[in-house]
Amino acid sequence: MHFHNMIILDGESLTLEDVRKVALLRDKVTVSEEALRKVRHSREQLMKIKEERVLYGVNTGFGALLHKVITKEDEVKLQENLLRSHSSGVGVPFSEEYVRAMLLIRINSLIQGYSGVSEELIRRSVDLLNSEVVPFVPRYGSVGASGDLAPLAHIGLTLIGEGHSYFGDSLHDSKSALAMAGLSPYHLGAKEGVSFINGTAAISGLLSVDIERTFLTFRSALIAAVLSFEALKGTANAFRDWAISIRKQPGQARVAKAMRLMLEDSPSVRETSRFKIQDPYSLRCIPQVYGAVLDTMEYSKEVVEREINSVTDNPLINEDEVISAGNFHGEPVALVADFMAIAVTDLGNMIERRIARLTDESLSGLPPFLIENNGLNSGYMIPQYTAAALCNRNKTLCFPSTADSIPTSANQEDHVSMGTNAAIKLSEIVKNFEDIVSIELLLGAQALDLAKVHHGSVAEKARDLIRSKVPKLVHDRPVYTDIQAVKGLIRSGAFLSLCPDF
């Protein structure tokens, strides 16, 4: 059983690793006393100002209805109606880790003291996050501009005991789910509904989980590249430090160094490097392609970590000043989602080309489709088809969502980011990428078993790790179980100890 650690939120220092721990490992959270002090001060300022002025979303309608003034008696109902009307999502619901990430990031934004919410809303949100209740959040409905309105409204609906939520594996009405966890519905105060849903927490939650997942898979992908490199008798001459360093790309240098370290004790590579002039690009250009993807991942992580420690709702409150700003617009993280999608898709394309080489006897020098008794047995013929299908799927998914904008709210919101769709597409691309890497690892291990040469220690250890879950293919068997077993190794982090730190 996983031991639940406690992560203290202060609004300023949340990391993607923290999000992973809360979203996937169910670590608990609490809020720092200093952050709660800021929340209380901001609430006091709001309550004072709203008695004197008309404030958007506090005593007015929303979006294009901003000129409709709301009476003091209806201010609370206004907030509840907002959650009800904006809970308009459709489609398969987001899985638990994404919903938990969204709620965590929303809390971290609201505690910075510029949103005017109450301390009680924060405490109730933390209680929900630390419970077994997971809001039912359909995946489609946000255009990623005036905040992730629909998905966050569905989470807020659970807070007030409406809509539906999961408790364990079962879906219940939210009031019942809360009761099962010993929680009760929360009654919203002034501005709390609009503060909760005006933000980029859905885009950022999806990205936080998937960028961390991509880093994990990327390191496994380097191990897969080593297996293929050894099996295809590559030359490491193109990875020489001086040749790499004269191009000033940091990711390229880091990947080349990792490849040199993982291949340095390989008798096969040492021998091949004495006479072979050059390799095909899918071997020779591993540092250049993987390095560019690594740089993209690092940039994306930097942008998202800034975002999850930002205030993104509207209106914003700073002492006696209240302004309607545009921090809810998802463009910074939306562009990152599209950028990541392109990078991960292209990396999968390179990996598929090595998979094709491994199965082609004219290119590999190995038995056709990596099985000795071929003809009667098809061996690993079809995993290459699967990789090709996944690459094609990723190519269709990586068209940039941010290239489109469809105005909403009677043209008040006349440019939107479509960032949530971009992040949703990236989620599927990352999962497909895991499968593509799993196939290369599986076929790389088989190729090493068939190659009549001595390989380096990293390749041998990786092959042995795969063999601990998947036996050598001698006769045809259903391959999908082999792929799933290797993917389990990737997700467990089993290959990380074989890959040098960057």
The span from the CA of 461 to the CA of 200, in Å, is 43
Tokens of 17: 């690793």
Scanning 237-327, the segments in alpha helix (DSSP H) are 241-245, 250-263, 267-275, 281-284, 286-307
The span from the CA of 168 to the CA of 4, in Å, is 17
The span from the CA of 288 to the CA of 283, in Å, is 10
Partners of 173 in the β-ladder: 164
- At CB < 8 A and 24+ separation, what contacts does 46-49 make? 46/116, 46/190, 46/191, 46/317, 46/322, 47/190, 48/320, 49/317, 49/320, 49/322
- Structure-token match 């001459």, residue found: 237
Query: Is 56 a known active-site residue?
Result: yes
3-state secondary structure string across 42-98: HHHHHHHHCCCCCCCCCCECCHHHCCCECCHHHHHHHHHHHHHHHCCCEEEECCHHH
The span from the CA of 475 to the CA of 373, in Å, is 8
CA atoms within 13 A on the CB side of 445: 21
Residue 209 is given by DSSP the state H
CA atoms within 13 A on the CB side of 132: 12
Catalytic residues: 56
